[in-house]
Structure 1
Amino acid sequence: MKSTMKYLFALMLVLMLALAACGSPDETEEGGSDADENAAEDNGDELYSIDDFSNIKTNEGEAIEGGTVTFGLVSDTAFEGTLNWNFYSGNPDAQVLNWFDEPLLTWDENYVYTQDGAATYEVSEDGHTFTFTIRDNVNWHDGEPVTAEDWLFAHEVIAHPDYDGPRYGSDIRNVEGIEEFRAGEADTISGIEVIDEKTLAITYKEVSPSLVTGSIWTYPLAKHIFEDIPVEDMSSSPEVRQNPIGFGPFIVDTITPGESVTYVKNEDYWRGEPNLDGVTLRVINPNTVVQELQTGAVDMVSSFPVDQFPANADMSNVEFLGDIDRAYTYIGFKLGHWDEEAGENVVDPDMKMGDVNLRRAMAHAIDDTTVGERFYHGLRWNGTTLIPPSHPEFHDDANEGLVFDVELANQILDEAGYEDVTGDGFRETPEGEELVINFASMTGGDTAEPLAQYYVQSWREIGLNVDLEMLEFNTFYDRVEEDHPDIDVYQGAWGVGIDVDPTGLWGPVSPMNYTRWTNEENTRLLREGVSSEAFDLDYRAEVYNEWQQLMVEEVPAFPTVYRAVLSPVNNRVHNYAIGDGTGVYRYQIAVTQEDRLAAE
């Protein structure tokens, strides 16, 4: 059986070179020209390691005063244009936002909030109350000060019953009095106090290490702009879509919806006047990303396809930066639905994928070590648990996960009663009914569809009849979010926050828990991971090791690959970095010459 599997996989790799697909924002396997693909084939046996890269740009030459850069947002689809942190939901919009807005708190390389951001903080002796002070020189782009009222207003909007964004999750609910405010039982949020124009105190119900590693909502909402807009209309308003505002280093000048944004420098930026005069962000198709970089048409990009790195590793006009991504790709199983009224995930026992044996067998059928080597040249690698190695204190590297074992997968299905009773090569359910599994995946570069087809073929190899549908980014997540009945299994990607707490994706009241799975043990462990006891690092690691094992056993989803981030940056660019806690900020970016620097 394994030899047959290897043959089919080799066949898929050959077919991969003949297929083309478009890119998606979260899946970064974008393609290039035919020449690039042939070069990739020539270098196909060479493996790389993320350890070979730096995440901070080497400065070459002397920076000039002013200048502009062009940032390529790599995508096969337009960005949605929900340009406010309180309402956005997709990575493309976040890429647009990052240039003109930012959180009030920053963090270090260990993902702990520092005192170096636009606001500082103090913690009460009992750990429940945080008092934040916004710096006096932090102003919105229209010159109005960013105030404590703006920070309070953001919480009030997110907690409003008419709020249509994804932020009302467990972190926000931890604010004292916010659930009563949402339920209409109180006119104010009792746990938030505006002390003066620049000072805000927030009291949290549960004391947790997450409070200093990411679970505080740090994005204010300009009250003087939004207070007269009904909450249900805010996310679609011109103030979000056409004329967004922030307090970051650059100001939005013009927007071509879904296609491009031009920014001018914010001379009043609180850290100091930016070096650059401006930035242009353009959506570029994955199929042209290499050409855009070679010609110098873009100076840096949101993502570079690691499958194309070997063919372009020696591009003369760029330096490749690299880092371990705070993300993983995963296969998720639809196991319930979202109860909008109750605001919680509900497991439906009659769902097609409800049998854990079926889910476990599908996980064992996948060889992601080979996927990482053949599709990604070692720059993606086999995922074992649902906490990635970007958080080494909590990733359980001793847990092997659901290892590739086709014989075991077949044995599990046999013992669970999935048999081919009709003789067509596909197994029926234990009740003898036809079993057709609908699998949805996102479009991507040259690898996206072949990779999805590989998963389908792997599952067919163990007798499962799986139908694949490739969807572009926005359609994919619309259907997954609405629990579309035509999706039983999906391939998604999840960006882990600076806080390791998995509740945002796997919690019982998280709308982003698209599997809709939860149980008492899951809830208990997630709660213990953010309890006061979890300030003990060893205790928290032990809890999350137990949680990782629970997810291996229950398999609401399983990771496929962990990911390296590669970011080519034009040699004319100074002061650029990727990753967290580098101490390099966007206002510091500079260039050594105004003209494009093309590859030789």
Structure 2
Amino acid sequence: MSKSLMGKYLFVLMLALFLVLAACGGDDEEGAEDPDEGSEGTEETESEEEEEEDEEEAVDPEDQIYDIADFNTAASNDGDPIDGGSLNFGLVSDTVFEGTLNYNFYSGAPDAEILTWIDDGLLDMDENFTFTQDGAATFETDEENNSITFTIRDDVQWHDGEEVTAEDWVYAYEVIADPEYTGVRYGTVGFSLIEGIEEYREGESDTIPGIEIHDEKSFTINYERLTPSLLTGGVWTYALPKHIFGDIPVAEMEESEYVRENPIGFGPYKVDSIVPGESVSLVKNENYWRGEPNLDEVTIRVINPSVVVQELETGGVDLVSSFPVDQYPENANMSNVEFLGQIDNAYTYIGFKLGDWDAEATEVNYQGEDMKMGDVELRRAMWYAVDNDSVGERFYNGLRWSGSTLIVPSHPDYHDDSIDVPSHDTEEANRILDEAGYEDVTGDGFREDPDGEELVINFASMSGGDVAEPIANYYIQAWHEVGLNVELLEGRLHEFNSFYDRVGQSGEDDPEIDIYQAAWSVGSDVDPTGLYGRTQLFNFPRYASEENDRLLAEGISDEAFDVSYRQEVYSEWQEYMVENIPVFPTLYRAELRPANERVVNYDIQTGSGVYLYELGVTQEEPVVAE
């Protein structure tokens, strides 16, 4: 048998083994239902011959392959919402939410899900992720003077009744640019291009020189230059109420009661109470600027991925933050919900540690070949060794699929699917490792490094749904198959918050981590600087090069206002990252969001024109599965 056929055969065996292990996962199975349950008590009967015929034609749900293009983004319920009512929203997570409930300080997706209910950005976006004039503020661009003037509508109020002012919006810029700021927002082009912002950051000015407040509702930001990124998410649109935060030291704001216990915004719902890490109770904001919300109350609570199906079937939740796509095939016909879906602005990836974070210089300390994973040929072989097509089909039934480049297909104008990327080829992986000098010197089945030294690669991965562990184990076994001794860090998966702290979000990189599996939500702006720029904390592989600097700068240059030019730049950048491999994408993602049949006025697509204040229910009680 050839090496490639043997590799494919072993892949199938490994998948089968890992799925059995997942099905026997102890606590992970709590609340899960036997797929044969629910068939008792039906009134229909069939002859044995008909039963045999049906069995032959039936498709096992685990073998069904789905296409995200077949899903709608909007709930089809066209009924009228009742007056008031309450709705239950499930925050799907295997861990507690952090509870940093202010856009200026949060970093994790679970907190962001909560924030969408209680706060708004001041600018709206269309379906192409471009700012519009339909939000709580309007804007006027002055290309000659490299400035943008913003004007807040008169009817926009904080939850405590105070007006949202230009000073509040500017205050958010001042806090984020303050050297004592503890969050992760500073450094993007929306800040770095503001005139005089470094003077302010270094204490040479009490205000940001490039920002001019005109009156209570309007102000102008003067930039060193304008870039296309500013109008596709680059402008920071989240105000900070100065009448509340103005007396709190910047270094203490993130831990203050107005972030952790009594968060305030100007969104459609207000926080009534919080059970830290577990749930948030909301009541409607009767003075919401778009109009009074239909619902009286919303309860957000964490639900484990292992019980999300049960919660949906029983009406315990009406909506969820996400639905584990690996559970979809067995539940595609759930009778009381409608599954909505779209291409997610996200990808899963394998990252390689190539340096650490220099906190003093606030930039990446790239160490390249001095790091264990510094050899690009080693990284290239590890990409060839894994079969992401089969992972997407077998674990996710096509609702996640093999990734290629670091600009995802949710941005179709910039994603370049013509670039040749490594795909599963065990023979090619072995050839690359052989030529690069990685040989099994000791005869134990694992390769030593080119210097003949033992090579053990520590792999960090997150906990999650039922497939998190078997997928991590598959990757390890795939690398074992080409002779690389990869071991799961500390022999276990790590929960969301501690994982990202150790990978580098805390500003300290755990030296025990050599490679890691993580995921990014890429946001609205196609500019990848926030994840791969030299000065970005989120650049977890700690990769930097002059060519990467050049391409990222070109993508936000004056010339990049020409869309075709920008497309060329980002195509070149995608190819450059495929060649240098600080990370490689494993899977692109479908986003599935089921909605109870009583839910009305709900659309998951950005720029759809359907807003949360319009969300309603057509009856008091949720529809329960039959």
Give the TM bin, normalised by the shorter chain: over 0.9
> Are 2:163 and 1:145 aligned?
yes
> Are 2:457 and 1:434 aligned?
no
Query: Kindly, what percent of the aligned residue pairs are identical?
Result: 64
Choose the corresponding residue for 2:431, options 411, 414, 436.
411
Q: Determine the structure 1 residue equivalent to 2:394.
A: 374
Letter in 1 for 2:165: T
Moved more, 541-550 or 478-487: 478-487
Work out whether residues 31 and 446 of structure 1, in 8 Å CA contact, stay in contact via their aligned partners in 2.
no
Work out whether residues 439 and 487 of structure 1, in 8 Å CA contact, stay in contact via their aligned partners in 2.
yes
Work out whether residues 62 and 330 of structure 2, in 8 Å CA contact, stay in contact via their aligned partners in 1.
no
Choose the corresponding residue for 1:423, options 434, 443, 455.
443
Q: Secondary structure of the residue that 2:498 maps to in structure 1? A: helix
Moved more, 548-557 or 477-486: 477-486
Q: Distance in 2 between matches of 1:71 and 1:22?
A: 29
The equivalences for 1:304-315 within 5 A come to 304-315=323-334
Q: Determine the structure 1 residue equivalent to 2:199.
A: 180
Q: Distance in 1 between matches of 2:332 and 2:21?
A: 23
| Deviation of the 1:187 alpha carbon | 1.9
> Are 2:179 and 1:161 aligned?
yes
Letter in 2 for 1:361: A
| Deviation of the 1:206 alpha carbon | 2.8
Q: Determine the structure 1 residue equivalent to 2:611.
A: 585
Q: Determine the structure 2 residue equivalent to 1:558.
A: 584
Q: Over residues 37-67 of structure 1, what are the superposed CA-to-partner deviations in whole Å (9 max), with x where a residue is unaligned? A: 9999931111010010011111143321110
Q: Determine the structure 2 residue equivalent to 1:493.
A: 519
Letter in 2 for 1:180: E
Q: Determine the structure 1 residue equivalent to 2:305.
A: 286
Q: Over residues 167-187 of structure 1, what are the superposed CA-to-partner deviations in whole Å (9 max), with x where a residue is unaligned? A: 012322121111111111222
Q: Determine the structure 2 residue equivalent to 1:395.
A: 415
| Deviation of the 1:35 alpha carbon | 1.6
Q: Over residues 474-506 of structure 1, what are the superposed CA-to-partner deviations in whole Å (9 max), with x where a residue is unaligned? A: 110010012101111001101111110000100
Work out whether residues 32 and 286 of structure 1, in 8 Å CA contact, stay in contact via their aligned partners in 2.
no
CA 1:32–1:514: 2 relative to 1, 3 Å: farther
Q: Determine the structure 1 residue equivalent to 2:48.
A: none
Work out whether residues 66 and 275 of structure 1, in 8 Å CA contact, stay in contact via their aligned partners in 2.
yes
Moved more, 138-147 or 35-44: 35-44
Q: Determine the structure 2 residue equivalent to 1:10.
A: 12
Q: Determine the structure 2 residue equivalent to 1:78.
A: 96
Tell me how many residue pairs correspond in the alignment: 595
Q: Secondary structure of the residue that 1:8 maps to in structure 2? A: helix
Work out whether residues 18 and 474 of structure 2, in 8 Å CA contact, stay in contact via their aligned partners in 1.
no
Choose the corresponding residue for 1:128, options 146, 150, 174.
146
The equivalences for 1:296-335 within 5 A come to 296-335=315-354
Q: Secondary structure of the residue that 1:196 maps to in structure 2? A: coil
| Deviation of the 1:19 alpha carbon | 3.1
Q: Secondary structure of the residue that 2:20 maps to in structure 1? A: coil
Q: Secondary structure of the residue that 2:299 maps to in structure 1? A: strand
Work out whether residues 261 and 280 of structure 1, in 8 Å CA contact, stay in contact via their aligned partners in 2.
yes
Choose the corresponding residue for 1:457, options 474, 477, 484.
477
Q: Distance in 2 between matches of 1:361 and 1:87?
A: 39
Moved more, 332-341 or 30-39: 30-39
CA 1:207–1:238: 2 relative to 1, 3 Å: same
> Are 2:488 and 1:468 aligned?
yes
Moved more, 97-106 or 40-49: 40-49
Moved more, 33-42 or 448-457: 33-42
Q: Distance in 1 between matches of 2:462 and 2:398?
A: 22
CA 1:313–1:31: 2 relative to 1, 3 Å: farther
Q: Distance in 1 between matches of 2:411 and 2:36?
A: 34
Choose the corresponding residue for 1:100, options 118, 137, 151.
118
TM-score by length of 1: 0.97
Letter in 2 for 1:153: Y
Work out whether residues 77 and 600 of structure 2, in 8 Å CA contact, stay in contact via their aligned partners in 1.
yes
Work out whether residues 209 and 535 of structure 1, in 8 Å CA contact, stay in contact via their aligned partners in 2.
yes
Q: Determine the structure 1 residue equivalent to 2:503.
A: 480
Letter in 2 for 1:19: L
| Deviation of the 1:401 alpha carbon | 1.7
Q: Over residues 141-190 of structure 1, what are the superposed CA-to-partner deviations in whole Å (9 max), with x where a residue is unaligned? A: 00011111111111111111111110012322121111111111222111
Query: Following TM superposition, where does structure 1 have runs of at least 4 consecutive aligned residues deviating by more than 6 angstroms?
Result: 29-32, 37-41
Q: Secondary structure of the residue that 1:19 maps to in structure 2? A: helix
Choose the corresponding residue for 2:86, options 68, 71, 86.
68
Letter in 2 for 1:44: E
Q: Secondary structure of the residue that 1:185 maps to in structure 2? A: coil
Q: Determine the structure 2 residue equivalent to 1:114.
A: 132
Q: Determine the structure 2 residue equivalent to 1:226.
A: 245
Q: Distance in 2 between matches of 1:21 and 1:154?
A: 48
TM-score by length of 2: 0.93
Q: Distance in 2 between matches of 1:217 and 1:471?
A: 32
| Deviation of the 1:568 alpha carbon | 0.4
Q: Distance in 2 between matches of 1:94 and 1:258?
A: 13
Letter in 2 for 1:596: P
Letter in 2 for 1:522: N
| Deviation of the 1:473 alpha carbon | 0.3
> Are 2:594 and 1:568 aligned?
yes
CA 1:153–1:361: 2 relative to 1, 3 Å: same
Q: Determine the structure 1 residue equivalent to 2:288.
A: 269
Work out whether residues 439 and 490 of structure 1, in 8 Å CA contact, stay in contact via their aligned partners in 2.
yes
Q: Secondary structure of the residue that 1:471 maps to in structure 2? A: coil
Q: Over residues 177-225 of structure 1, what are the superposed CA-to-partner deviations in whole Å (9 max), with x where a residue is unaligned? A: 1111111122211111111011011112232111110111110111010
Q: Secondary structure of the residue that 1:78 maps to in structure 2? A: coil
Q: Over residues 54-94 of structure 1, what are the superposed CA-to-partner deviations in whole Å (9 max), with x where a residue is unaligned? A: 11111143321110100000011110000000000000111
Choose the corresponding residue for 1:533, options 535, 559, 583.
559
Q: Determine the structure 2 residue equivalent to 1:33.
A: 32
> Are 2:622 and 1:596 aligned?
yes
Q: Secondary structure of the residue that 1:369 maps to in structure 2? A: helix
Letter in 2 for 1:103: G
Q: Determine the structure 2 residue equivalent to 1:26.
A: none
| Deviation of the 1:430 alpha carbon | 0.5
CA 1:104–1:405: 2 relative to 1, 3 Å: same
Q: Over residues 414-468 of structure 1, what are the superposed CA-to-partner deviations in whole Å (9 max), with x where a residue is unaligned? A: 1111110000000001011100000000011111110011111111111100011
Q: Determine the structure 2 residue equivalent to 1:197.
A: 216
| Deviation of the 1:32 alpha carbon | 6.5
Stretches of structure 1 that go unaligned for 5 or more consecutive residues are 24-28
Q: Secondary structure of the residue that 2:341 maps to in structure 1? A: strand
Q: Distance in 2 between matches of 1:475 and 1:125?
A: 44
Work out whether residues 22 and 445 of structure 1, in 8 Å CA contact, stay in contact via their aligned partners in 2.
no
CA 1:160–1:30: 2 relative to 1, 3 Å: farther
Q: Distance in 2 between matches of 1:485 and 1:219?
A: 35
| Deviation of the 1:400 alpha carbon | 3.1
Work out whether residues 21 and 449 of structure 1, in 8 Å CA contact, stay in contact via their aligned partners in 2.
no
The equivalences for 1:504-515 within 5 A come to 504-515=530-541
Work out whether residues 501 and 526 of structure 1, in 8 Å CA contact, stay in contact via their aligned partners in 2.
yes
| Deviation of the 1:348 alpha carbon | 1.4
Q: Secondary structure of the residue that 1:280 maps to in structure 2? A: strand
Work out whether residues 22 and 446 of structure 1, in 8 Å CA contact, stay in contact via their aligned partners in 2.
no
